[in-house]
Amino acid sequence: MKRLQSNSSNHPGLWTYNNQQPEVITPNVVPPSLSAALEAAVHSIGQRWITVIGGQASFVQQLVNAGIPRQRIRWLRPGKTDDRAWALEQAVLSGTSDVVVAWVSGFDKRAAQRIRLSSRVSQTQSFMFEEDVLTPHLH
């Protein structure tokens, strides 16, 4: 079962036939949460990667604490936004990951569209977060 959770709508457009009015459906969008991503990773049955792109070491440690072997966790930390977008697209499309958890802030419109399209055709569960939403405030 494929689950893509994102804060934005994934609808590519409305289609009409012979001047019919388009049917507008408002999806029940549930904002992704780290706990949902963690649960998906723990319940993944395969032996493929749990890929984390960006994020912080604390999330990787949560995966290990939940019983996922460290050898099964692939943590990618590309510095450039373009590299992070490419890594996310490849992780989703390659079929080598059971779950992909990524932090996606700063992507341009084209990169965001490519990632949405790759997520639609992939069987990989994807969880994408905005960086500043999850970064704890300074003490």
Low-confidence ranges of the chain (pLDDT < 50): 1, 6-31, 132-139
Q: Give the pLDDT of residue 26.
A: 33
CA 27 – CA 51 distance, rounded (Å) = 27
Q: Give the pLDDT of residue 3.
A: 52
Q: Within a 10 A sphere around the Cβ of 17, how many other Cβ atoms?
A: 6
Q: Give the pLDDT of residue 128.
A: 84
Choose among 135, 134, 130, 132: nearest CA to 7.
130
Contact between residue 99 and residue 127 where contact means Cβ atoms under 8 Å apart:
yes
Q: Give the pLDDT of residue 112.
A: 83
Q: Give the pLDDT of residue 25.
A: 35
Contact between residue 22 and residue 14 where contact means Cβ atoms under 8 Å apart:
yes
**Across-strand partners of 96?**
none
In order of their start, the domains of the chain are 32-131 (3.40.50.300)
Q: Give the pLDDT of residue 12.
A: 44
